[in-house]
Structure 1
């Protein structure tokens, strides 16, 4: 595809646009006024578009090879009237997606041949039959046109009016085309592989070269048996689209083949016997993913008459329907919402705290969809999910490595668990007053320092945010791999609050916690890895320094490493769920033996005994949606983001005042060995390479817009321009940027609206600047200079005061007791308020000033001080330069809440006694009596 068309994700849109353009060109072609050179011109345009579409069409069931061949024949024969009518009909069906229900123009029904065995039966379809969900099945087999037509007719012949779904076939003859179809066609839900297929297509796939992987053709084209070839293809398809149901049809030794290849396929059938059973299995496999146990139970419950004699007067709307004053509540929300309200855990429903029925099934289905071993629903957000995981894993005195710029819930979780926290520093992006992600070198250096201090046995967990708010994504598998080489039983908590959608994109998926955990465990169990590890071990010198270890890729010992991974996700933020609907995903080898009881207690401690069943039902439905159409939704989300980037960067006026930041802007070159500055615009191969090799990558669905040249700071631009004037909602800003995020609900129309808004803002700004006086223009240019040229240096984390640090160990380490520092402030006599100038005076006098609270400026939204941390001149200067009116933990009238010198002096007399037998920390009696811990 052409340069700049972002081929890695735009084929669907290119196909859709090509059909629309063909419809428009065909309409112009058949007009009576189109003659001579003009007619020749449109004939040429139609020919080029047909050639473009011809590359795509074999991989979709509609309009299908027979219908598209008729289009081509009509055009080649010069029958432009028929050509134009047919193209118009197809384009309308594609645009409205009416082909899914067979609801197409009557005039074309004899040609479309979609659902029933006899096309004339389309007129007899019931409303229920028209509403049946539609999907497509890929068949990989070498077939003649006659054999393909016979197979389609045979499959259609098995259809019944009461089938829950309806599907059509896409037939390809080679393994490379099977991979292309799986990449391009989101309608696919199942793949049927027959033993006889070619390793390489006879078609010209040059137009789709971005989607052809030569490595697959090489594997399939070697000296392998048909059974091995089927296994190779199944492995590639599973890696690409794990949600697809795979079936194998074989002509010989079906029993033997089932024993050998059954693990790669859902079912194995004999070719001469299994078409009906295959048909039923395909429907059943999709029905498994379509099933929503809890939503269905709740819906059924809502239809039962009940008598409520305990709690929840709103149950089944009873306190509303007879009210004289709040009946508008039903008018606004609808009756069904209240009919499904209950606090009961019986009658077909279930308990969130002890699920044994439909809720348990719903969570099991979610675990399968998200690739975890266990999944738990959370009804009060990922803030609570983070605290549940932390409390179940961390005990007082345990050391935890934590990204300093993480969500506030992690800081509070550390405080509640009594962890000793080692804060990790992310790389700074000074020009935009934000931080990126934590380099692996930083993580390894902290672990090695703790090892030298003799504290590695106390290190329990590391928590990182993937991806960050600004879209920086870690190489999750590599981070865990190298950390396990130093600390083999380290537990990982990945905060994926904004990354739940990533599971459902083949490129994103490999950088998610659950996919990485499974890949890492599979690799550690591979005998080939063990041999490679033993060989590499011989190359590491006995006297290797920390610098040597920091500069080389570390490999964990497969005999000692344990894969223990947790991910928390805000389903409601990036997928379909009601607000506060979140999930905890677990892939922990030691969960059942070491964590399950503590996890259950933490879950009980943080979860309401009266959870909102509407939230739970929405999580069940959201899982169904992504299990069946997640690939399509996420691809469109990315495509919309790319359309937005192009619309901004290519608009002459918008370019004057705004710019979309690129990967090179947000990820320094030392973290990008690929050296590709714009992978988002470089095609599938480059993007795949970047996502395989680079330490950090940028999520394409997030657009950080630099707006410094407008003269507005980020917060003002958000409030006064976007929200107040145009109703455009965004969340994240920095000193000179705003963040736009596309999601699975974003449409092309909403992207167009945002572009209109930005153009309107730019036009108003242009007109305003043109009318400025000399003085006003000077002030405007000064504001622009301040936002674009004068960067605000980001402060380093100053560290905990010595009184909150553990002085034990062979070498000093930076971990601090956040809980002790936090609760010391509960006695007001331990605290005082100081202005910024007063803090500076004490620092100049050589006195430490210790924060009693979290101090978090908005924007950018990360804490620059946590309880127990020492003030520094850099931190104070940063807060002054930032010039933001909203700083949590700072009172304009009083100043910063800090500990008095006396409180620090008294706290220094307390101590922590570490129990070396279990690595835990216990408070001494002096601590308890003083009430300071």
Structure 2
């Protein structure tokens, strides 16, 4: 039996313990006096002991039923125990306990013993009442606990839209553990009898408390404050939940307290009907999907279609003799729900006033923004909308150079002066990390020294990166605001929408950090700290400022935008995305331009199915996002552990750790790896709270160079073609496995089986290989693992596209459109004419974006000077795709005459601007 230290998740621990208990009790009941009986009894006793510590946090099977099973075991009623455990395990596995009462006695009849949720049709499952659990926090005895539960049970009515069961815990600590452990909990009733400390001592549960931020800061509280403080702490850990405070304190005392997620305060401790109705109403508020519901209702209405959509109501399909297969494949509902905003009856995405508007407001609540906007053509469009809305021609924007290409095109459209920021390189894996805060501060201080700080408009960063590097978002914004108090932040969270719904992850999301900053900037403690630092840093030089954690002015404006690909990490149809806004100046300064940018890039015929899926996806994460994200992290952690401890896999593969992907100077916590075969699991809360960069645990980067295959070959020829495993991202010697909220333990197990099979085949191949074949293999491995070209930094913009020689920003828009005239461009061959041009002293300047796949970032942008380092990197690439480069012609560059003309034009424009400014 695995020890508790082998488990990252208490949910995995619980599931495996029940499974082991079922197997062992069944074996014992078959041969109660067999040779293995003594060992089996000892094992069962240990399993009951470990499960007893965690079953208190679940309504099913419940403490009383669990203790009854244990008493039966102690009385040697092994057959009864085996029967009851089998029923519990089956119900937990199939989810049957969510739909009906599960009898555990041998003489009970369960006519739906094989009621497996997976065997039911979607229609049947949609008709069942959703189930959830309510946690009651009160230090009561067994008799009082039964009284509490029975009072809630008596409030049930047939017309209730949901069904719930109650679970009772005694203390503040138990409540925090419970909401982190039990994903079924949707509401908490906090009664005045709660105490502070849990009676349970278990390392895996202490890890859950750490994810709530620990409890050191609340040990000095008075018992009368435990209830309000618990409501506040729950808001920090799981803000989507509802809390109800039952108290006998005066209204005046309660009114002045921060009650976190508390929806209502009750003064009558026995007003169970009102509590029941409020619990249902609170869950209903999250379950509501205004647009999806409106679309379903629309699909049921009889209509006559006289507008420009033949497919509406499925008429053009049902009348066809040749495309009936399309109708059969998709079914009728998708066509019944197909309509246009101009036909009336629903709402317009461009000017929402009805269900779309309400759906966006609910999404804003769920994701912690001030405004949220839906998009139906992906985050590429979201990025361009935000950039166009906020950035004006001539504004300086600091941009992560290896961000998504939509941002680069956004800079072109906006006419921004771009300062490209270099991420730290991971040359041994042919990938970039993220942009160090020191580099960002350095560029801001350079611009300040040049008198250009007033023109700096935006900082644009990717969080998390494709490879899973996550910024300390709050710290980045703090220190940038200390230099430029009104800078706008655009965080590309295309791959990070799920992070809002995990307590550890949430702290590094843009919206959470923005809300935290807005709250903290107003506090007296912050004002005092700012004033003290200002006195200390008076006349400080740039090096001192770079080495100091800067504190922003209390008057700073928090202006934050986040774009998310909902369809990438949450439930949504393809291209469903969201823009989240948390900008203190949005109403007065940006709203009108945002509306225009939104109109510019959004189709007047948006896909209603995508909008509906965004609405439903929001409902899902508010009600079960915590569970799904938790399981997603568990799946990735299981994968890490399995690969890191398998002796055969370790010969050819390695899971890259935080220590591999984040340099030591950016890991203040010193955490090297989330799992170590010798030490077990690392509690990641500390590093996520402290470090400049952390590694997203849901992404597993596997080093495959030891197999002799490059990343692209391993992905295409081995994983996809041979085993049907789909992945997206590769580098020269790595492949990236991304778990998501749909990843199961079975899919992880299959992947491990595949990797083991690949390793075995390699073993056999090398065992039969000749000396020359073995040398060839070793050479391929060496080329992939050691002989890697260094990743090039951004060189510079050509002077024809710069304002001066003091700072590095460049006019990417002028360069982009200069290339439209083919007379301004030429092609130079990588192995020939380009060398002649550079040897002759000419600046070779790219006229296009050059983006190799992999790694997928632009190594050249329009107007950028080609460096020897970039050429060396391009020559060393062995990828099939280099966007913007034509192998038959070469690299597209500007002619020297075009650069001279542009330089004159640029000089005249700058002279005119200077005259206007004077």
TM-score range, shorter chain: over 0.9
Query: C-alpha offsets along residues 841-884 of structure 1, whole Å, 9 cap, x if unaligned?
Result: 21122110000001111111111100000011110101112222
**How far apart are the structure 2 equivalents of 1:242 and 1:813?**
44
1:762-841 correspondence runs (5 A): 762-807=759-804, 812-836=806-830, 837-841=832-836
Q: Secondary structure at the match of 1:401?
A: strand
> Is structure 2 residue 749 aligned with structure 1 residue 752?
yes
Paired residue for 1:648?
643
1:417-566 correspondence runs (5 A): 417-540=414-537, 542-559=538-555, 561-566=556-561
Q: Gapped runs of 5+ residues in structure 2?
A: 111-122
Does the CA contact (< 8 Å) of 1:62 and 1:99 recur in 2?
Answer: yes
Q: Which residue among 568, 571, 580 is the counterpart of 2:575?
A: 580
- Go from structure 1 to structure 2 and tell me whether the alpha carbon gap of 1:914 and 1:449 turns closer, same or farther (over 3 Å shift): farther
Q: Secondary structure at the match of 1:152?
A: helix
Q: Superposition RMSD on alpha carbons, in Å?
A: 2.4
1:341-490 correspondence runs (5 A): 341-345=338-342, 347-490=344-487
Does the CA contact (< 8 Å) of 2:172 and 2:195 recur in 1?
Answer: yes
1:103-122 correspondence runs (5 A): 104=102
Bigger shift: 821-830 or 257-266? 257-266
Paired residue for 2:207?
210
**How far apart are the structure 2 equivalents of 1:663 and 1:174?**
36
Query: 1:79 deviation in Å?
Result: 1.6
**How far apart are the structure 2 equivalents of 1:859 and 1:127?**
45
Does the CA contact (< 8 Å) of 2:228 and 2:259 recur in 1?
Answer: no
- Go from structure 1 to structure 2 and tell me whether the alpha carbon gap of 1:215 and 1:310 turns closer, same or farther (over 3 Å shift): closer
**How far apart are the structure 1 equivalents of 2:204 and 2:601?**
54
Q: Which residue among 87, 90, 96 is the counterpart of 2:88?
A: 90
Bigger shift: 762-771 or 527-536? 762-771
Query: 1:195 deviation in Å?
Result: 1.9
Paired residue for 1:928?
none
Q: Which residue among 628, 631, 637 is the counterpart of 1:636?
A: 631
Paired residue for 1:118?
none
Query: C-alpha offsets along residues 173-223 of structure 1, whole Å, 9 cap, x if unaligned?
Result: 111111110111111111111122111123445562223359865555435
Query: 1:534 deviation in Å?
Result: 1.3
Q: TM-score, structure 1 length as denominator?
A: 0.93
Paired residue for 2:899?
904
- Go from structure 1 to structure 2 and tell me whether the alpha carbon gap of 1:91 and 1:128 turns closer, same or farther (over 3 Å shift): closer
Does the CA contact (< 8 Å) of 1:709 and 1:788 recur in 2?
Answer: yes
Query: 1:737 deviation in Å?
Result: 0.4
Bigger shift: 901-910 or 34-43? 34-43
Paired residue for 1:22?
21
Q: TM-score, structure 2 length as denominator?
A: 0.95
Paired residue for 1:930?
none
Query: 1:779 deviation in Å?
Result: 1.7
**How far apart are the structure 1 equivalents of 2:137 and 2:909?**
63
Does the CA contact (< 8 Å) of 1:175 and 1:217 recur in 2?
Answer: no
1:264-279 correspondence runs (5 A): 265-279=262-276
The count of corresponding residues between Structure 1 and Structure 2 is: 902
Paired residue for 2:597?
602
Query: C-alpha offsets along residues 428-465 of structure 1, whole Å, 9 cap, x if unaligned?
Result: 00100110000000000000000011110000001000
Does the CA contact (< 8 Å) of 2:847 and 2:894 recur in 1?
Answer: yes
> Is structure 2 residue 277 aligned with structure 1 residue 283?
no
Aligned structure 1 segments of 4 or more residues deviating by more than 3 angstroms: 1-7, 103-112, 126-130, 202-207, 212-221, 251-264, 344-348, 679-686, 912-917, 919-923
Query: C-alpha offsets along residues 133-167 of structure 1, whole Å, 9 cap, x if unaligned?
Result: 10011111121211111111111111111211011
- Go from structure 1 to structure 2 and tell me whether the alpha carbon gap of 1:66 and 1:347 turns closer, same or farther (over 3 Å shift): farther
**How far apart are the structure 2 equivalents of 1:205 and 1:5?**
10
- Go from structure 1 to structure 2 and tell me whether the alpha carbon gap of 1:336 and 1:663 turns closer, same or farther (over 3 Å shift): same
1:332-347 correspondence runs (5 A): 332-345=329-342, 347=344
- Go from structure 1 to structure 2 and tell me whether the alpha carbon gap of 1:308 and 1:255 turns closer, same or farther (over 3 Å shift): farther
Does the CA contact (< 8 Å) of 2:9 and 2:204 recur in 1?
Answer: no
Does the CA contact (< 8 Å) of 2:466 and 2:495 recur in 1?
Answer: yes
Does the CA contact (< 8 Å) of 1:398 and 1:459 recur in 2?
Answer: yes
Query: 1:129 deviation in Å?
Result: 11
Does the CA contact (< 8 Å) of 2:4 and 2:13 recur in 1?
Answer: no
Paired residue for 2:9?
10
Q: Secondary structure at the match of 2:536?
A: coil
Does the CA contact (< 8 Å) of 1:705 and 1:739 recur in 2?
Answer: yes
Q: Gapped runs of 5+ residues in structure 1?
A: 113-125, 924-933
Q: Secondary structure at the match of 1:30?
A: helix
> Is structure 2 residue 727 aligned with structure 1 residue 730?
yes
Query: 1:640 deviation in Å?
Result: 0.7
Does the CA contact (< 8 Å) of 1:822 and 1:868 recur in 2?
Answer: yes
Q: Secondary structure at the match of 1:492?
A: strand
**How far apart are the structure 1 equivalents of 2:373 and 2:135?**
33
Paired residue for 1:702?
699
Query: 1:778 deviation in Å?
Result: 2.0
Q: Secondary structure at the match of 2:54?
A: helix
- Go from structure 1 to structure 2 and tell me whether the alpha carbon gap of 1:819 and 1:872 turns closer, same or farther (over 3 Å shift): same
Q: Secondary structure at the match of 1:317?
A: helix
**How far apart are the structure 2 equivalents of 1:220 and 1:410?**
44
Q: Which residue among 221, 224, 246 is the counterpart of 2:222?
A: 224
Does the CA contact (< 8 Å) of 1:466 and 1:474 recur in 2?
Answer: yes
Q: Which residue among 291, 294, 302 is the counterpart of 2:291?
A: 294
Paired residue for 2:118?
none
Does the CA contact (< 8 Å) of 1:640 and 1:748 recur in 2?
Answer: yes
Query: C-alpha offsets along residues 676-734 of structure 1, whole Å, 9 cap, x if unaligned?
Result: 10135678873110001110000000010000111111111111111111221111100
Query: 1:744 deviation in Å?
Result: 0.4
- Go from structure 1 to structure 2 and tell me whether the alpha carbon gap of 1:165 and 1:853 turns closer, same or farther (over 3 Å shift): same
Does the CA contact (< 8 Å) of 1:210 and 1:685 recur in 2?
Answer: no
**How far apart are the structure 1 equivalents of 2:764 and 2:774?**
12
Does the CA contact (< 8 Å) of 1:89 and 1:108 recur in 2?
Answer: no
Q: Secondary structure at the match of 2:898?
A: helix
**How far apart are the structure 1 equivalents of 2:236 and 2:213?**
14
Paired residue for 1:44?
42
> Is structure 2 residue 129 aligned with structure 1 residue 132?
yes
Bigger shift: 258-267 or 401-410? 258-267
- Go from structure 1 to structure 2 and tell me whether the alpha carbon gap of 1:205 and 1:662 turns closer, same or farther (over 3 Å shift): closer
Q: Secondary structure at the match of 1:910?
A: helix
